[in-house]
């Protein structure tokens, strides 16, 4: 019951009037009580020590499903958050299963929303080309030696396409939703750097070694920190955010921690990506202070704590007998030989690690590895899916870049700032990301790559957008005229 004071017109005396709670509040209270009873009674019904935990998890899942049906974009945020959690923070098998469950659930609640509200579906050129690549990849399984591995790889690509090139562009249609996406990425970034900082303080760091955050691959730590930098800087530079001392200090602290973890990881690719991104941030007025700050922190750290960079410098200079590319020269040469033997059709999606081993063994030892990864996404795709596959795959990347450049030119012509904070940050991070993506193992289907494609095609909202009711509800900032997806959304091809 809630109470409010009411002044009677005749007596002029205040009177307390009790109002009954609304139906939604009553339902929430009843649901909470029923859930508490169910959790408590679960230990009586099932003689298992973790029965209350399972019952509580089921209750949380049911509550989340009800909320997501009402707000499908929240399911998208949840899926992205789970996907980019540091590997090892929760058991790997549970995280993998949770990735699939939340992604499929996000797709189902979005589809219900599309049907109920009769929304149109956006498919950009990038989405169409990647869909074509998926279809051709499925066809390539007809001549693949290892059908099981190919089917698993096809499922991975399908889930990436579903989450990042279908759900994300269709649900991020307002500035409010874009802010939510950026906040999710920032939260993932903070989870990574805080867990890494805690591990470094607890275990310490030995110069000459490669620091690992939980079970995260050393080469992936810096890349994930760089991708999440988009969300962190958006919280300071975004048109709906008012930068203050607190937000600036947090962004600066994140950048310092990200640089430190990248240096300690000893990853040459991540180091190159981070430096290129910082240099690119200096090209635009809105982001120049952050690029300069990051470069300054690198210089200060190199002078005051050179041990942090010892492993990275040793790997760059090949002092440990390694090559400049870490032995990738032989892998890439073997990949070209494989492509020469199967130029048009490839060996089938996901089958390169099996088929390329004899080629590599003629050039270098492969130790005890049963599978050999090429560490080059374009060569991997070409060797697996042939000429049609690589044309569709790189065509999707080219279409995303073209869409982004056209949108940036539109902002320039509209005098909406030099490029707008979104365009500047995404352009800088994408440039840095691609510098190491080209030499990454398994990066052709990595979550981060598909996220970068989505960020290149997702509608960007400059500060000049007027606030009016839109797809995001009352008070949401819709897309400006001429933006991808603005003014009625159809096939999205531009």
Sketch the domain layout of the chain as residue ranges.
24-114, 125-337+344-457
Asked if the model's pLDDT at residue 494 lies above 60, the reply is no
Radius of gyration, CA atoms only, the chain: 26
Average pLDDT over residues 245-259: 93
The band of 434, judged by pLDDT with boundaries at 50, 70 and 90, is very high
User: Rounded to an integer, what distance in angstroms lies between the CA atom of residue 190 and that of residue 449?
Assistant: 20
Q: What does the CA dihedral 386, 270, 94, 197 come to, rounded to 10 degrees?
A: 180
Q: Which two tokens stand for residue 265?
A: 């990881």
Q: Long-range contacts of range 300-308, CB-CB < 8 Å, 24 or more positions apart?
A: 301/259, 301/260, 301/263, 307/207, 308/205, 308/207, 308/260, 308/263, 308/264
User: Rounded to an integer, what distance in angstroms lies between the CA atom of residue 308 and that of residue 210?
Assistant: 10
Asked if the model's pLDDT at residue 196 lies above 80, the reply is yes
More confident residue, 170 or 472: 170
The band of 30, judged by pLDDT with boundaries at 50, 70 and 90, is low
pLDDT of the residue at 447:
94
More confident residue, 441 or 367: 441
User: Rounded to an integer, what distance in angstroms lies between the CA atom of residue 258 and that of residue 81?
Assistant: 18
Closest CA relative to residue 439, chosen from 378, 366, 371, 348: 378
pLDDT of the residue at 329:
85
User: Rounded to an integer, what distance in angstroms lies between the CA atom of residue 445 and that of residue 375?
Assistant: 12
Q: Tell me the HSE value of 428 on the side-chain side, using a 13 A CA sphere.
A: 30
Q: 195 phi and psi, to 5 degrees?
A: -65, -40
Residues near 115 by Cβ (< 8 Å), separated by ≥ 6? Answer: none
Average pLDDT over residues 76-83: 95
The band of 163, judged by pLDDT with boundaries at 50, 70 and 90, is very high
pLDDT of the residue at 31:
52
In the chain, % of residues over pLDDT 70: 76
pLDDT of the residue at 469:
36
pLDDT of the residue at 309:
86
| Sign of the alpha-carbon torsion through 164, 170, 174, 176 | negative
Q: 463 phi and psi, to 5 degrees?
A: -60, -20
Q: Tell me the HSE value of 466 on the side-chain side, using a 13 A CA sphere.
A: 3
Q: How many CB atoms lie within 10 A of CB 53?
A: 13
Our measurement of the distance from residue 8's CA atom to the centroid of its chain's CA atoms, rounded to an integer in Å, reads: 58
pLDDT of the residue at 57:
63
Beta carbons of 459 and 173 less than 8 angstroms apart: yes
The band of 90, judged by pLDDT with boundaries at 50, 70 and 90, is confident
Closest CA relative to residue 161, chosen from 203, 209, 124, 206: 124
In the chain, % of residues over pLDDT 90: 50
State the DSSP string of 191-211: HHHHHHHHHHHHH---TTS--
User: Rounded to an integer, what distance in angstroms lies between the CA atom of residue 155 and that of residue 351?
Assistant: 14
The band of 416, judged by pLDDT with boundaries at 50, 70 and 90, is low
Average pLDDT over residues 450-460: 87
Closest CA relative to residue 397, chosen from 122, 129, 136: 129
Asked if the model's pLDDT at residue 209 lies above 70, the reply is yes
Statement: the pTM of the whole predicted model exceeds 0.85: no
216-230, 300-314, 464-478: which has the minimum mean pLDDT?
464-478
Beta carbons of 282 and 292 less than 8 angstroms apart: yes
More confident residue, 484 or 397: 397
* Length reported for the chain: 494
Asked if the model's pLDDT at residue 211 lies above 70, the reply is yes
The three-state secondary structure class of 14 is strand
Q: What does the CA dihedral 91, 93, 94, 96 come to, rounded to 10 degrees?
A: 120
User: Rounded to an integer, what distance in angstroms lies between the CA atom of residue 73 and that of residue 416?
Assistant: 27
Q: What does the CA dihedral 252, 256, 258, 264 come to, rounded to 10 degrees?
A: 180
State the DSSP string of 364-422: S--TT-SS---S-HHHHHHHHHHHHHHHHHHHHHHHHHHHHHHHHHHHHHTT-SSS-HH
For residue range 329-384, what is the model confidence (pLDDT) as tens digits?
888 999 999 999 999 999 999 999 889 988 888 877 655 556 788 899 999 999 99
């Amino acid at each position: 019951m809630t109470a409010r004071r009411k002044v009677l017109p005749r007596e002029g005396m205040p009177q307390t009037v009790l109002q009954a709670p609304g139906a939604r509040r009553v339902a929430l209270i009843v649901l909470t009580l029923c859930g508490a009873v169910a959790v408590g009674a679960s230990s009586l019904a099932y003689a298992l020590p973790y029965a209350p935990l399972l019952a509580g998890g089921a209750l949380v899942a049911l509550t989340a499903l009800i909320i997501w049906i009402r707000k499908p974009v929240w399911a998208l945020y949840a899926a992205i958050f789970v996907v980019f959690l540091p590997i090892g923070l929760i058991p790997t098998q549970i995280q993998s299963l949770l990735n699939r469950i939340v992604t499929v659930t996000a797709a189902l609640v979005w589809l219900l929303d599309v049907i109920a509200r009769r929304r149109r579906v956006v498919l950009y050129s990038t989405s169409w080309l990647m869909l074509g690549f998926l279809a051709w990849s499925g066809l390539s399984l007809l001549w693949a030696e290892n059908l099981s591995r190919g089917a698993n790889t096809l499922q991975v690509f399908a889930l990436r396409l579903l989450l990042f090139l279908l759900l994300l562009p269709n649900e991020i249609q307002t500035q409010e939703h874009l802010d939510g996406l950026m906040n999710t990425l920032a939260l993932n970034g903070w989870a990574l750097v805080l867990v890494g900082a805690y591990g470094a303080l607890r275990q310490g760091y030995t110069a000459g070694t490669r620091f690992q955050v939980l079970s995260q691959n050393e080469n992936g730590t810096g890349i994930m920190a760089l991708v999440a930098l988009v969300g962190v800087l958006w919280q300071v530079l975004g048109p709906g955010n008012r930068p203050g001392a607190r937000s600036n200090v947090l962004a600066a602290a994140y950048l310092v921690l990200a640089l430190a973890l990248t240096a300690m990881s000893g990853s040459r690719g991540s180091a190159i990506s981070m430096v290129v991104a910082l240099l690119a941030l200096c090209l635009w007025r809105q982001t120049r202070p952050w690029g300069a700050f990051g470069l300054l922190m690198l210089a200060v750290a190199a002078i005051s704590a050179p041990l942090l960079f010892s492993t990275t410098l040793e790997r760059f200079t090949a002092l440990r007998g390694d090559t400049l590319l870490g032995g990738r020269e032989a892998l890439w040469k073997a990949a070209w030989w494989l492509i020469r033997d199967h130029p048009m059709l490839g060996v089938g999606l996901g089958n390169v690690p099996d088929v390329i081993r004899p080629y590599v063994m003629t050039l270098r030892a492969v130790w005890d590895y049963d599978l050999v990864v090429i560490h080059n996404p374009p060569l991997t795709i070409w060797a697996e899916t042939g000429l049609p596959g690589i044309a569709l795959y790189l065509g999707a990347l080219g279409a995303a870049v073209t869409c982004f450049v056209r949108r940036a030119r539109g902002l320039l012509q509209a005098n909406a700032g030099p490029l707008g904070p979104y365009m500047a940050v995404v352009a800088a991070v994408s440039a840095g990301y691609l510098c190491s993506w080209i030499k990454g193992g398994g990066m052709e289907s990595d979550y981060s790559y598909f996220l970068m494609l989505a960020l290149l095609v997702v509608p960007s909202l400059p500060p000049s957008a007027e606030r009016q009711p839109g797809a995001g509800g009352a008070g949401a900032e819709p897309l400006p005229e001429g933006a991808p997806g603005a003014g009625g959304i159809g096939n999205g091809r531009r």
